[in-house]
Amino acid sequence: MPDRTKFILDEKSIPAQWYNIQADLPEPLPPPLHPATGNPVGPDDLAPLFPMELIKQEVSTERWIDVPGEILDVYKLWRPTTLFRAHNLEKALDTPARIFYKYEGTSPPGSHKPNTAVAQAYYNEKEGIKRITTETGAGQWGSALSFGGACFDVEIKVYMVAISYHQKPYRRIMMEAWGGKCVPSPSNETNAGRTMLEKDPDSPGSLGLAISEAVEEAVSREDTHYSLGSVLNHVLLHQTVIGQEAKEQMEMAGFYPDIIVGCVGGGSNAAGMYLPFLKDKIDGKKPDLRIINVEPASCPTLTRGPYTYDFGDVAGMTPLLKMFTLGHDFIPPPVHAGGLRYHGMAPIICHLHNLGLVEAVSVHQLETFEAGVLFAKTEGIISAPETNHAIRAGIDEALKCKKSGEAKTILIAHSGHGHVDMAAYQAYFEGKLHNYDYPEEKIKESLSHLPKVGD
C-alpha cells in the first residue's frame, strides 16, 4: 500500500445520518433530574430552552437520525474533513507507532463546533425562533454559533467567559463579523452575573457561570431559546459526522486505531470522533480499543471529580446531570485552554467512563504547548491550545510504543487550529505560563455545595 499522507473523501461521503450511541449502550444513561422535584426531566421542562426536534434527539434511542438536507448543504462548505498520517511527527519521535489525526480546522470558524452549531440554528429557525443565547469559553463555540446563525438568519447573543473575552479578542470579532453580539461573563445584564460581580469584581468567569447568564436571559424572553455547544446528548450526536468519516478514512489507510485520543472540556469533539468506533468495542469487534479523554490538570473533572448529580451551571438553573464534577460553583484558574475549563463533563462520556469503556488522563499546560510546538514544526498546523492536550497524549502514547517496540495505530481528534490563539503561544514563548494543579482543598470546598440527590 502506498505510504500516503492524506486521506480525502468525496462530498458524497458526508454522513447523511448522525449516529446515536444511546441505542447501543450496555446500560441506559442515567436521566437528567428536575432540581425541584428530583424526577426525570420531561419534554415540557426543556421546551422553554430548546426546539422540540432537539429535545427528541436528546432522549432518542434510535441508532440513526437523518441529517436534514439544508444542514448537509452547509456541511459541504468544509466536510468531509481530511484525515492525515503524521509521518513527520512519527519520524521526529522515532516511534514505530502510526499516528493519524482528523483535522477539523477547515470549517469557517476553524473548529469542529459548526457540526452542531449549524444543526441547532437550523432546528430553531424551523420552529420560528429567531434569537438564541449561549455561552462560550475560548470563543470557538460562540463563533461557530454566530456562523450558524448567519446561515439561517438567527440572532445570536454570546456570554463569553471574561478571561477568554480579554485574552482572545479576535474570537469576539469573528462573532461580530457573523452578526453575533458578545459580552464578557460575568456581566451586569443578568442576576447571575451581577451576583458574581458583587462577590468578585475581578472574577475571571467560568463556563458554568456563562451558562447561567445565557439560560437566565433565554427563559426571560419568549422570542429566545438557549443553545449549548457541548455536554448534551444531541450535541455529541451531531458531532458523530467526525467519527463516521474517520472510520471510512482509516479503512482507506488500511489500519484500525488501537488508541483514540481527544481533548475534553464538555467532550463533544472527542466523543464525536470515538463514539462510532466505540460501537465496535461494545459489539466485541475491537474489545481492546483504548479511548483516552484528555483534560487539563487545572480542571481535572474526570480524573479527580466524583460521579454524581450536579447542576450544569453556577446558579443552579439547569437540570441535574449525572456526571463527574468538580462542583457547579467551581471557578477554574485562567489557563489558556479556555474551552476545557468546565466543572462537569458530557453525561454520555461520564457514563462510559464509569462503565470502564473509556479512560481519562490529565496533562499540564506547559507540556501541552511543548507538544503543540512540535506538532507545528513537524506537521505544519498551529493547533488550538485545547487541541494541544490531545496531541500531548498522542505523543505520550507514541513514546510508550518507542519503549515497547509496538507499532500501534494512534488516532488523534484534532478539534481545530490556533490562528486566533497567538497570545497564548506568545505567553508560552516568553515563559509567562506555569503549570497548575488545582488544590484538593478547593475541590473539596466546591464539592461541599453539591445538590442533595438520592442517587
* 263 is a domain residue: yes
Reported pTM: 0.95
* 213 is a domain residue: no
Q: Check which CATH number belongs to the domain holding 100 and give it.
A: 3.40.50.1100
* 364 is a domain residue: yes
* 351 is a domain residue: yes
Q: What is the pLDDT of residue 334?
A: 66
Residue 1 confidence class, pLDDT cut points 50, 70, 90: very low
* 115 is a domain residue: no
Closest CA to 71 of 60, 79, 82, 63: 79
Query: Is 354's pLDDT higher than 50?
Result: yes
Higher-pLDDT residue of 167 and 107 is 107
Q: Specify burial of residue 60 (Cβ count, 10 A radius: 0-12, 13-18, 19+).
A: middle
- For 95-127, write each residue's pLDDT tens digit: 999 999 999 999 999 999 999 999 999 999 999
Question: How many CB atoms neighbour CB 256 within 10 A?
Answer: 15
- For 217-245, write each residue's pLDDT tens digit: 999 999 999 999 999 999 999 999 999 99
Query: Is 154's pLDDT higher than 70?
Result: yes
- For 307-326, write each residue's pLDDT tens digit: 999 988 877 778 899 999 99
Q: What is the pLDDT of residue 445?
A: 86
* 225 is a domain residue: no
CA pair distance 43, 50, nearest whole angstrom: 9
Secondary structure string (H, E, C) spanning the chain: CCCCCEECCCHHHCCCEEECHHHCCCCCCCCCECCCCCCECCHHHHCCCCCHHHHHHHHCCCCEEECCHHHHHHHCCCCCCCEEECHHHHHHHCCCCEEEEEECCCCCCCECCHHHHHHHHHHHHHCCCCEEEEEECCCHHHHHHHHHHHHHCCEEEEEEEHHHHHHCHHHHHHHHHCCCEEEEECCCCCHHHHHHHHHCCCCCCCHHHHHHHHHHHHHCCCCEEECCCCCCHHHHHHHHHHHHHHHHHHHHHCCCCCEEEEECCCCHHHHHHHHHHHHHHHCCCCCCCEEEEEEECCCCHHHHCCEEEEECCCCCCCCEEEEECCCCCCCCCCCCCHHHCCCCCCHHHHHHHHCCCCEEEEECHHHHHHHHHHHHHHHCCCECHHHHHHHHHHHHHHHHHHHHCCCCEEEEEECEECCCCHHHHHHHHCCCCCCCCCCHHHHHHHHCCCCCCCC
- For 404-420, write each residue's pLDDT tens digit: 999 999 999 999 999 99
* 117 is a domain residue: no
Residue 428 confidence class, pLDDT cut points 50, 70, 90: very high
Q: What is the pLDDT of residue 381?
A: 98
Question: Structural domain of residue 378, as residue ranges?
Answer: 6-13+68-110+233-447
Residue 2 confidence class, pLDDT cut points 50, 70, 90: very low
Q: What is the pLDDT of residue 153?
A: 97
Cell of 219: 427563559
Higher-pLDDT residue of 342 and 302 is 302
Residues 6+ positions from 197 with CB-CB distance below 8 Å: 186, 187, 188, 203
- For 10-35, write each residue's pLDDT tens digit: 999 999 999 999 999 999 999 999 98
* 218 is a domain residue: no
Residue 439 confidence class, pLDDT cut points 50, 70, 90: confident
CA pair distance 444, 183, nearest whole angstrom: 31
CA pair distance 372, 376, nearest whole angstrom: 6
Higher-pLDDT residue of 354 and 169 is 354
Total count of domains within the chain = 1
